[in-house]
Structure 1
Amino acid sequence: FSEDTYRTLMAADSAVMVIDASKGVEAQTRKLFKVCVMRRIPIFTFINKLDRDALDTFELLDDIEKELGIATCPVNWPIGSGKGFKGVFDRNTKKVLIFSDTEKGTREGVTSELPLDSAEVLQRIGEEEVKRLRDEIELLDGASDPLDRERVKKGQLTPVFFGSALTNFGVETFLKYFLDMTTTPLPRMSDAGLIEPAGHEFSAFVFKIQANMNKAHRDRIAFMRICSGRFDADEEVKHIQAGRVMRLSQPQQLMASDRHVVDEAFAGDIIGVFDPGIFSIGDTVCSV
């Protein structure tokens, strides 16, 4: 698993670090974190499983900073944990996001966005929880690092979010911020020099090969990360390592078990192409 994740990180421009709220930073997290540091890519932290008994929130932040040596900035803050997990406080909008029951993620939940001092918040989370939240936010505002996007971009600061993937609490909120804060496709270093994503010439590299993804028949898919230019379906490209020109037919994009053929793809996109056994990890293709 770690080797597969390592290869995927080599194709990524940003990384999401998922932390178990009941365990903190684990050994495997440390290993993969080093890869992110080596590549100097932004790291976004999602502290998961708040619907279960969790460690103290400040302890979790301290654990990340001490174990990984990266500053943290909570973008939101959890309201309760375990069965008492009600939602999060958004430090940017100063609003409380209260989540409805999703029946363990089996149905889409509803997020109520309310001012902290509203009567509805007091009614739904209780006076004691509101007081605790105010105290924690006051402490957080005085002690935590400010959200500096330049430091995030350099991998020096990680924005932190809280939620539960199982119940789908806080996931959509995290993804919205992630899309807003993450970088555009980054340049890539090659033997020929720096490859800019805005370049007109198509180039891509193979970072993963997976067999038997389709239960209907045996197949072998080579996953490519496009570094520059535009790729059009059935376009002829040069396979650098093999020294030959070939046609990449039926390029696909995959999400879990779903896949669909794409007509075009651009820098930063991931495509899967049928591999008859000619590709290896690290192979590159480019415009003819």
Structure 2
Amino acid sequence: MTELSTEIHKRLTFAIVSHPDAGKTTITEKLLLFGGAIHIAGAVKSGKTGRTTVSDFMKMEQDRGISISTSVMGFEYKNRKINLLDTPGHADFSEDTYRGLSAVDSALMVIDSVKGVEERTRQLCAVCRMRNTPITTFINKLDREGKDPIELLDEVEKELGVRVCPVSWPIGQGRAFKGVLNIPENRIYLFRPGQEQLPSDTISINGLSDPVLDQSVGTSLANRLREDVEIISGVYPPFDREEYMHGTVTPVFFGSALNNFGVRELLDNLISIAPYPTPKESDEREIIPEEPKFTGFVFKIHANMNPRHRDRIAFLRIVSGTFERNKMYYHVRSGKSFRAANPTAFMSQDREIIDEAWPGDIIGLHDTGTFKIGDTLTEGEGINFKGIPSFAPQIFRSIMNADPLKEKQFHKGLNQLAEEGVVQIFSKLHQPNVRILGVVGQLQLEVLQSRLQNEYAADCKYEPVDVTIARWITAADKHILQNFIDANSRRILTDIRGTHIYVTDSEWSLNRVQEKNPGIQFFVTSEMTEPRRQN
């Protein structure tokens, strides 16, 4: 086995997705705790202790106890190099989550046992299924009185359209919750609530008839466990890794992330079943991780991760080959060379300089404005990876500088945050100085305002505009496209890439324009219209 192949087989790159408040960021912390990356876990809304979650590094995230931006964290566990992405659960930050899913090989879906499958869970699972991304499911908060576990399995299958395979099973629920049974291993994990350090109580049993089970959890819970396991063994087939790899079956684990129930068992199973770095599709061909030549793509840009340095970092997913520090690479979109003097690995906002990285790794590149989301680096080949689009906004506002003395700070912050993907910024054809913001949700406007103030010392104000729908446009015949733009100039905006967008105030109006202009193609994402550079 070559060094490249060895390093690939060590990697595990996955994202954690869920509906808000299902416990996603908490389980991220506990995975880091069990992986030895941190020694004490913070709480998401830790007002009493003053601690905040490691993965939430922006001030607004810490104040509100929600994840606004995808965080990247790396750690080692049992000879595996794990790259973990904690994605925003809130619908207003869908784009950041979708881009994060393009950079991983599998996903961990967290479900609240009290609320069951919720809307964001459905949406995120659908995105994973579109890409055939393998999904592992963790049903959280078993220490609370919630839905019956078998009812939850039925709900997952019905609502998410994916078959389930329970790998662990809860022993009791709510106040009676004692731990979990690992079904294939016949091993009981007994945990105590309120622990912040690593739990150690595990018991091996010789089948469910073993009296040790009754002694450990009590006869009543032991008998209930035996009944449940008999039922699920008859209903659900054994775990099939091939079906899991195709995204048609999800292994299910139960626990309580806040109290460390079931998390270590989950991590142990992830490193044994989750895929190594997988091939990625480009417009030109499929890229295999074992290819000796380096390729990678930028899926996220973040400015001011370290407010003291006011820096800007491009997050690069390595797809194939070996990335080397100080080596010259080809920036496909610009056609220019690029060299990284200080590539970094992440533990949320903490970073360390690395000399090399391998397929599956996510590294940070210091960026002075070179990169845009979706950019590709290679050793010379013109490759453009798929699946990193912008989405049509649903809310539009005109934005203005609220302080004339801070004009420079305002424009710098607005441009950097737009390139980062916090919001989309459009310009009018005949009034290029008029900036129109497009966002998926209202909270993005609050994030932009907060970050302009905290990171750029700039203030902004919003005004409504008569736009509710936007579509990127293109045409096979460039003359037809230009004639359409000229005839509808008041309804045409350009994005930061220079791509044209048609905007209107109603579905009826959009349908009418589409019927009158069959030569124009309208898209809800930018992926089909982005300019590409080829060799």
Give the TM-score normalised by structure 1.
Answer: 0.95
Aligned-pair CA distance for 1:183: 1.1
Aligned-pair CA distance for 1:42: 0.6
1:153 aligns with 2:248: no
Match of 2:197 in 1: 107
Gaps of 5+ in 1: none
Partner AA of 1:169 in structure 2: F
Match of 1:280 in 2: 372
Q: Aligned partners of 1:218 and 1:167: how far apart in 2?
A: 37
Q: Aligned partners of 1:268 and 1:182: how far apart in 2?
A: 13
Match of 1:168 in 2: 260
Aligned-pair CA distance for 1:120: 4.2
Partner AA of 1:149 in structure 2: R
Aligned-pair CA distance for 1:117: 4.2
Partner AA of 1:74 in structure 2: P
- Whichever structure has more strand as a proportion of its residues is 1
Aligned-pair CA distance for 1:127: 0.5
The one of the two structures with greater contact order (alpha-carbon pairs below 8 A, sep at least 6) is 1
Match of 1:17 among 103, 109, 112: 109
Rg (Cα) greater in structure: 2
SS in 2 for 1:166: helix
Aligned-pair CA distance for 1:137: 0.4
Q: Which stretch shows the higher mean deviation, 118-127 or 27-36? A: 118-127
Match of 1:195 among 287, 299, 303: 287
Match of 1:253 among 345, 355, 374: 345
Conservation of the 8 A alpha-carbon contact between 2:191 and 2:260: no
Conservation of the 8 A alpha-carbon contact between 2:318 and 2:362: yes
Conservation of the 8 A alpha-carbon contact between 1:71 and 1:145: no
Aligned 1:50-199 pairs, distance under 5 A: 50-101=142-193, 103=194, 105-115=195-205, 116-199=208-291
Q: Aligned partners of 1:90 and 1:106: how far apart in 2?
A: 22
Q: Aligned partners of 1:258 and 1:271: how far apart in 2?
A: 12
Partner AA of 2:268 in structure 1: K
Aligned-pair CA distance for 1:220: 1.1
Q: Aligned partners of 1:49 and 1:252: how far apart in 2?
A: 35
Q: Aligned partners of 1:10 and 1:222: how far apart in 2?
A: 15
Q: Aligned partners of 1:260 and 1:71: how far apart in 2?
A: 41
Match of 1:241 in 2: 333
Q: Deviations over 1:124-171 (max 9, x none)?
A: 311000000000001111111221111001101000001111111111
Aligned-pair CA distance for 1:108: 2.0
Aligned-pair CA distance for 1:100: 3.4
Give the TM-score normalised by structure 2.
Answer: 0.52
Conservation of the 8 A alpha-carbon contact between 2:180 and 2:261: no
Q: Aligned partners of 2:249 and 2:298: how far apart in 1?
A: 30
Match of 2:82 in 1: none
Aligned-pair CA distance for 1:81: 1.6
Match of 1:217 in 2: 309
Partner AA of 1:177 in structure 2: N
Conservation of the 8 A alpha-carbon contact between 1:186 and 1:196: yes
Conservation of the 8 A alpha-carbon contact between 2:346 and 2:364: yes
SS in 1 for 2:259: coil
Q: Deviations over 1:211-261 (max 9, x none)?
A: 111132211111111110001112211110011001112111112233222
Cα RMSD after superposing both structures: 1.3
SS in 1 for 2:125: helix
Q: Aligned partners of 1:160 and 1:208: how far apart in 2?
A: 30
Q: Aligned partners of 1:109 and 1:250: how far apart in 2?
A: 38
Q: Aligned partners of 1:261 and 1:119: how far apart in 2?
A: 54
Q: Aligned partners of 1:202 and 1:262: how far apart in 2?
A: 16
Aligned-pair CA distance for 1:194: 1.1
| Identity percentage of aligned residues | 48
Conservation of the 8 A alpha-carbon contact between 2:296 and 2:318: yes
Conservation of the 8 A alpha-carbon contact between 1:50 and 1:82: yes
Conservation of the 8 A alpha-carbon contact between 2:181 and 2:188: yes
Partner AA of 1:56 in structure 2: D
Conservation of the 8 A alpha-carbon contact between 1:114 and 1:121: no
Conservation of the 8 A alpha-carbon contact between 2:190 and 2:202: yes
Gaps of 5+ in 2: 1-92, 381-535
SS in 1 for 2:238: coil
SS in 2 for 1:174: helix
Match of 1:43 among 135, 156, 159: 135
Partner AA of 2:198 in structure 1: E
Q: Which stretch shows the higher mean deviation, 241-250 or 254-263? A: 254-263
Partner AA of 1:141 in structure 2: S
SS in 1 for 2:374: coil
Match of 1:262 among 343, 354, 371: 354
Q: Aligned partners of 2:345 and 2:374: how far apart in 1?
A: 19
Q: Which stretch shows the higher mean deviation, 271-280 or 127-136? A: 271-280
Pair 279,235 (structure 1): closer, same or farther in 2 beyond 3 Å: same
Q: Which stretch shows the higher mean deviation, 120-129 or 25-34? A: 120-129
Conservation of the 8 A alpha-carbon contact between 1:16 and 1:45: yes
Conservation of the 8 A alpha-carbon contact between 2:192 and 2:259: no
Q: Aligned partners of 2:117 and 2:157: how far apart in 1?
A: 10
Partner AA of 1:127 in structure 2: T
Q: Aligned partners of 1:197 and 1:189: how far apart in 2?
A: 11
